[in-house]
Structure 1
């Protein structure tokens, strides 16, 4: 399970870096989103994947803390998803504005001459 998750995170992050190096602004934006998804997945997996375990202590009980899922990575990933959505919306608005001003979506502002 750990090997599959590690490979998935590495492939997603690698694809994000590859897209980040592309000359079009939409590809750069997609690469940033993929990299943020990979980092979110990494943070979530670092909190261990628990099956059928409560993330919080039930009222009136004091169970062994080793059997509870850690709620901190879940809270961090939820916060990162919200911030990532807002950042993506901002990048998209800037990208559309730059496309309207320059007439191209190339990251340098001009098409390369062939």
Structure 2
């Protein structure tokens, strides 16, 4: 007998677009997502190049708890914001960060950051 795993979109608050984003991050089933937990899974999502989005993060947290995304309020939401900010800070996919080595290359062609002497 063959069984099929539930897709990521089987988790409350996550739809087809989320399913595609998590698949690009290597997460293909709802069970994988549950085993990883919200923080690790969201970190993988960012590492795969997705832009950080607080609502997406707390919708995931609420969904893993079986709650609607808009159930997050007050102190709980503040605590989740702190967790989100920590995950975002630890992500190597910061979209505002310059690529590694870019300063050296820009200096070589004469258009690097001006430095005070």
What TM bracket, shorter-length normalisation?
0.3 to 0.5
TM-score (norm 2): 0.34
State the structure with more CA Rg.
1
Higher fraction of helix: 1
